[in-house]
Structure 1
């Protein structure tokens, strides 16, 4: 029985891609700019050294970054002979830079069509769509209906929502509709039903909106609005077979989705879902799953969303750096429970440079770090699509070939 562990550090880009100018992101570099910030602010941050991620460096992260950008991230130099994994950097061939797109391309389904977007800053979502949704619930109106960040819109409409019970609806630069409600006064069940109905109405009206994101929040005793861990994404189902589905169909395998992974794939190609949030909790559950699942061919797929949602979008450079350092400290726990034939893949889905303008994702290359006991440490080159990951997994499990991507390793 073989096992693959995909640890996806959501938004950890390693330098702007060749087509980044088409997205307004030329010069973005999530890892590099975080390292640069820490280097020049280390006295203020009360650190003798810059960002400390020695285990990620040994797995080839900074080497992949050097080949992507032409230089090591500041303070992250390492001798190539000290790297213990094979590594590469990859560019996306998909038309967008959002979470769903990145994940789908990784498992063999690049997005080569155009998502639909609600681009207006005000009155983003057409009135007839809102009217149709409202007819199912009789909310007596909405709040927002604009393009905004989650933090801004809760501060603007949170109190009014709690008083009126009108849902807060908004969009972003991604192909999404987001709905935020107080989970105590509005109710989670009602909120999830609202998301489900919204997804159905968008689909019926032939809108290719990738995700309807439910954003529950609460108001604390200090009057702050805080998102809870009960987020749910209603996504369009994959348009073809992913490597996840192939493992189940062709090898009677098992796919364990941890965090928000099952939402991203609409639970297609998933045999077990573990909904958990928080970086430490996600790591705990991932390590436990590795320890306890060895009777079948298995993929354990974890999305570490905090790097994106808490630190990338909120432009929290220090939080992002601290999160990377914490993740790095726990890598030995993962390596220690791996068996001889296990394959560990550490990667990302896009960038979200916390030093960049605005609050959106950034079009960047991603790292691919491949670790297996006794693996030969080599640079695997510039991969032209994220789907090389899916093709490598298919080869590893002796599955039928994916339509996109090339195998990176002879294993």
Structure 2
């Protein structure tokens, strides 16, 4: 039986990439700065002391980090015996033009984005008037709120009460190629929010705005002090520009791709056999472990652990990020034990989101690649020039036709 368990720790970068200066991210280092802050006692909210991740260390995360940055993170000393590392380890750089979720995930699946997405660059009055007017007219809206670059939690605090009073949706974006819509689940209604987002997706495509995602951001609460986003988010993505390794598995081997969390949304449902919605790190881990137990032959089980990015990375919460990594590590022990002889467990990331960095956006970083199989001795995978080496490795493992990009690591 051949199965791959592909785990994306959303935003766990391991040091700024060689081209990070182009993104004003030179010096960003998600993992290294978290380890450093823990060692210095600056990440003690809800936890204490050095970062405790023995299973990730056993898989080679520290060696991946050293290969990427040239040093171990502050407070960590070299593993005494590298033969104790049970997985193959290395790091990868991104060749896609952006540092967003869609670019990172598509490149992992063998489809890098080499041309530019459309970005809404103006900080205020962000969206073109002609587009806003068309949205208001078609959706029969009383108007809109926001229309700016913003953090998702801050903008509902600023405009949430006005939104409830007026029924005007809150529209905003970030440095990524996204069009985000925040509305109250009860007063505006989930179905109305989803319909609005589908209309915006249609208008963007019709008007040839190559925007990666339209994101529905529902929230609840009755005032700015208790507003909070819910797990009913959806991402409406453009379909991948060419065939992904998941599609190849389904078409060439009649295999299955089980997508957990927001994975299916990222690929617009293309190359996905079954989508399982799950929200929150604990639930994502629980669902992943349950599905690992059930996975059939010729299956990719693909999970995105979004909380690292959306809850702790973007909100610049070092302690929260550290807590999340420590919890994931406890669950990783169970995952490792479910990997059978011919299986592969692959752990990676899609970009960085350094919680110590300025602003609230993603950071252009290298990502770890950790590949575990009980039958394979761990070795150094080196510096992979593209995330697509993961997709090519998956294709090789399942004996699929070769992907256009990447070199396999088997």
Q: Which residue of 1 aligns with 2:398?
A: 397
Per the TM alignment, residue 155 of structure 1 is displaced from its structure 2 partner at its CA by 1.2
SS in 2 for 1:207: coil
Residue matched to 1:374 = 375
The answer for the alignment partner of 2:345 in structure 1 is 344
1:104 to 86, 89, 106: 106
Residues in 2 aligned to 1:196 and 1:74: alpha-carbon distance in whole angstroms: 46
Q: CA deviation at 1:131?
A: 1.1
Number of the residue aligned with 1:313 = 314
The SS at the match of 1:345 is strand
Further displaced range: 349-358 or 145-154: 145-154
Query: What per-residue deviation string (whole Å, max 9, x for no partner) do you get for residues 19-63 of structure 1?
Result: 000100000100000011111116956977400001000000010
Tell me the alpha carbon deviations over residues 330-364 of structure 1, each in whole angstroms, 9 at most, x when there is no partner. 11111112211010000000000000010000000
Structure 2 residue aligned with 1:186: 188
Q: How far, CA to CA, are the matches of 2:178 and 2:344 in structure 1?
A: 33
User: Partners of 1:44 and 1:97 in 2: how far apart?
Assistant: 29
Calculate the TM-score normalised by the size of structure 2: 0.97
Is the CA contact 2:126–2:148 (under 8 Å) kept in the aligned structure 1? Answer: yes
Q: Match for residue 29 of structure 1? A: 29
Q: How has the CA–CA distance of structure 1 residues 187 and 63 changed in structure 2, closer, same or farther, with 3 Å as cutoff?
A: same
Which segments of 5 or more consecutive residues in structure 1 lack a partner in the other structure? none
Of the structure 1 ranges 43-52 and 108-117, higher mean CA displacement relative to structure 2 is found in 43-52
Partner of 2:283: 281
The whole-number CA distance in structure 1 between the counterparts of 2:366 and 2:94 is 7
How far 1:135 moved relative to its partner? 1.4
Residue 114 of structure 1 corresponds to which residue in structure 2?
116
Report the Cα distance in structure 2 between the residues aligned to 1:219 and 1:139, rounded to whole angstroms.
22
SS at match of 1:283: helix
**Distance (Å, rounded) in 1 between the aligned partners of 2:47 and 2:228:** 30
What value does the CA root-mean-square deviation take over the aligned residues? 1.4
Aligned to 2:133: 131
Q: Tell me the CA shift for residue 375 of structure 1.
A: 1.4
Hey, what does 2:356 align to over in structure 1? 355
In 1, Cα distance between the equivalents of 2:117 and 2:310? 21
Closer, same or farther: CA 48–122 of 1 in aligned 2, 3 Å = closer
Cα shift at 1:75: 3.2
Q: CA deviation at 1:82?
A: 1.7
What CA deviation, in whole Å up to 9, does each residue of 1:237-292 have, x standing for no partner? 00100000000000000000000000000000000000011101001111111101
* In structure 2, distance between residues paired with 1:268 and 1:225: 34
CA deviation vs aligned residue, 1:79-134 (integer Å, no higher than 9, x gap): 32221100110000110000000000000000100111111111110111111111
Aligned to 2:213: 211
Structure 2 unpaired stretches of 5+: none
Output the CA distance in 2 between the equivalents of 1:223 and 1:55: 38
Q: Which shifted more, 71-80 or 38-47?
A: 38-47
Residues 9-408 of structure 1 aligned to structure 2 (within 5 Å)? 9-41=9-41, 49-77=49-77, 78-79=79-80, 80-219=82-221, 223-294=225-296, 296-408=297-409
1:237–1:265 contact (8 Å) kept in structure 2? yes
How far does residue 374 in structure 1 lie from its aligned partner after superposition? 2.6
SS of 2:312 mapped into structure 1: helix
Deviations 1:136-183 (A, max 9, x none): 221111001111111221111000001101000011100110000001
Q: 1:235 to 1:41 in 2, by over 3 A?
A: same
Change in CA separation of 1:19 and 1:292 when aligned onto 2, cut-off 3 Å = same
Question: Would the aligned equivalents of 1:42 and 1:50 in 2 still touch at CA under 8 Å?
Answer: no
Q: Is the 8 A contact 1:32 1:73 kept in 2?
A: yes
CA distance in 1: counterparts of 2:9 and 2:338, whole angstroms = 20
TM-score (norm 1): 0.97
